[in-house]
A and B are shown apart, each in its own frame.
Chain A
């Protein structure tokens, strides 16, 4: 009975102030989408790190016109250097095969590159990847070596980009989140004002505080949950339409974002949103409805 009363008050409150309710839900949805994206990126960095941890290599690219003797000589030097656990030669043809595999889906790109242009290389599994700089210092100036790259350096750039994107999403999430909470506080104030008669009478006849406050807090929680659901839907749509759709090629260089981690966001976002909205509403009430 009382629950029915509270629920009808909640929906009446949201409906009476519909424009504010919509604004509240939209800002919450934007904030939570950004928060969700930020969390996914955070997770993605972990996944990439783990994925490459064991596979990181230092690659010694050889000059295009190198002689077989020189190649053997460099190989021997690499093996003797003490840094390398395993040295594997990759011929021009193999390099081209690998290139074709990587860009399988971009036919134009593959067609545009000739097998000749890709250099032969030594792919080196390091004993300790932290020695990579020393190895690079020793070999990059050597005759017959075109360039030495550490995959970790390339990865570092990817991390930097992901980290930047993550910071950006979290900043937007924070700013939008603050706006959303201000809207919540405002909505609650308006709701408390429009129900001031009921509230005064409830307090006069001794309704428990939680009962007086429940409709307001639930209004905020309801908006928070709807906002979280919208944010979740946006993230799902982004996965299917952007990451797996339009820009699939771009994202195929990274390990895919797992559906599972997006699904996990639903309870996380809903929980965060509901709890923070409820706390905001409750604090607002403490200043507005004194007992």
Chain B
């Protein structure tokens, strides 16, 4: 497959299970390295990225998953701060940025709740906040609404849309036809590892 995604685009990846959508996300994160082919993000050739440079590369990418991936023993604010802490940002930065970004995702006032004290939608907001707190140029989302009810899903999509407007490129894998049909963004359909459709302002089909 050959695909080019411009800066600031919002792209849906759809396709049947086993098509290779999550694999694309893994390749972009350099969790997997392809046997052949080339993947570039910005001016970085991910396929030829040295192992030790991977962490620095990943800092320019945000990531959201179906299963939230929050630390259960940390509050919403601490979960977001953790992402800053482990890449060496000083505490003063976290104190300033974390409330800001939690406010942005609509969790103002719930900063000190633990994940088990939050609804699924709220947990996913924390995950989005964590992915976005470093202002990445690229945000990857693998079925971010997969565990959420339709209303909550739409709220998360509004949030991603808002982030998209800040100039962040968003790649989202989804099975949710309603979302795709409502958003009317570029849709890339994959089957068996091949692109079968690439449509601007597309629908689930």
**Residues of A near any B CB (own CB < 8 A):** 1-2, 5, 197-198, 200-209, 211-212, 291
Q: Are B71 and A5 in contact (CB under 8 A)?
A: no
Q: B41 to nearest A CB, angstroms?
A: 13
The 7 lowest CB-CB distance pairs between A and B, nearest first, are A206-B58, A206-B59, A207-B86, A205-B83, A206-B55, A202-B86, A208-B55
Q: Per-residue CB proximity of B22-52 to A under 8 Å, as 1/0?
A: 0000000100000000000000000000011
Q: A203 contacts B58, CB within 8 Å?
A: yes
Q: Which of A198, A200, A207, A211 has the most CB of B within 10 A?
A: A207
Asked if B51 contacts A206 (CB within 8 A), the reply is no
Q: Are B58 and A204 in contact (CB under 8 A)?
A: yes
The chain B residue sitting closest to A205, CB to CB, is: B83
B9 to chain A, nearest CB (A): 22
Asked if B51 and A291 sit within 8 Å, CB to CB, the answer is yes
Bound: A203/B29 CA distance, A: 10
Known A2-B85, A211-B86; contact A201-B59, beta-carbon cutoff 8 A:
no
Measured between beta carbons, the chain A residues less than 8 angstroms from B52 are: 209
Question: Which residues from chain B contact A205 at a C-beta distance below 8 Å?
Answer: 58-59, 63, 82-83, 86-87, 130, 134
Q: Would B71 and A203 count as touching, CB distance under 8 A?
A: no
Kindly state whether residue B158 has any CB partner on chain A within 8 Å.
no
B38 to nearest A CB, angstroms? 21
In the complex, chain B residues whose CB is within 8 Å of the CB of A208? 55-56, 87-88
Q: Is the CB of B86 within 8 A of A204?
A: no
Minimal beta-carbon separation of B101 from chain A (angstroms): 14
Q: How many residues of B contact A (CB 8 A)?
A: 25
- Which residue on A lies nearest to B74, using beta carbons? A198
Distance A200 CA – B130 CA, assembled complex (angstroms): 14
Contact A201 B54 (CB under 8 A): no
- B90 interfacial contact with A, CB 8 Å: yes
Say whether B87 contacts A206, CB under 8 Å: yes
Whether a CB of chain A sits under 8 angstroms from the CB of B201 is no
Find B55's partner among A197, A200, A201, A291 (CB 8 Å cutoff): A291
Closest-CB distance, A157 to chain B (whole angstroms): 58
CB distance from B61 to the nearest CB of A (A): 8
| B128 CB, min distance to chain A CBs, angstroms | 13
- B29, closest chain A residue (CB): A204
Q: Which residue of A lies closest to B54 (CB)?
A: A291
A2 to B94: give the CA distance in the assembly, Å: 13
Residues in chain A near residue B134, CB distance under 8 A: 205
Q: A197-B71, A205-B130 are in contact. List 13 more A-B contacts (CB 8 A).
A: A1-B90, A1-B91, A2-B88, A197-B72, A198-B71, A201-B83, A205-B58, A205-B83, A206-B55, A206-B60, A206-B61, A207-B86, A208-B55
CB distance from B137 to the nearest CB of A (A): 13
Q: How many angstroms between the C-alpha atoms of A202 and B61 in the bound complex?
A: 13
Question: B69 interface residue, CB < 8 Å from A?
Answer: yes
Q: Which of B57, B61, B71, B85 contacts A1 (CB 8 A)?
A: B85
Q: Is the CB of B87 within 8 A of A207?
A: yes
A206 contacts B71, C-beta separation under 8 Å: no
Bound complex: CA of A205 vs CA of B58, how far in Å? 6
In whole angstroms, how far apart are the Cα atoms of A197 and B57 in the complex? 21
Complex: chain A residue closest to B30, CB-CB: A291
Residues 59-101 (chain B) with a chain A CB within 8 angstroms: 59-61, 63, 69, 71-72, 82-83, 85-88, 90-91
For the complex, give the distance between the alpha carbons of A266 and B58 in Å: 43
Chain B residues with Cβ below 8 Å from A211 are: 86, 88
26 contacts between A and B (CB under 8 A): A1-B85, A1-B90, A1-B91, A5-B86, A197-B72, A200-B69, A201-B71, A201-B82, A202-B86, A204-B63, A204-B69, A205-B58, A205-B83, A205-B86, A206-B56, A206-B57, A206-B58, A206-B60, A206-B87, A207-B86, A208-B55, A208-B56, A208-B87, A209-B52, A209-B55, A211-B88
With most chain A CB atoms within 10 A of its CB, the pick from B55, B59, B82, B87 is: B55
Instruction: Tell me the smallest distance from the CB of A274 to a CB of chain B, in Å.
Output: 24
Nearest-CB distance from A289 to chain B (Å)? Answer: 12
User: Cα distance A291–B52 when bound, in Å?
Assistant: 9
Chain B residue at minimal CB-CB distance from A208: B55
**A36 to B83, alpha carbons, bound, how many Å?**
45
Minimum CB–CB distance from B51 to chain A (whole Å) comes to 6
Minimum C-beta distance from B16 to chain A (A): 26
Q: Point out the residues of chain B lying under 8 angstroms from A2, CB to CB.
A: 85-86, 88
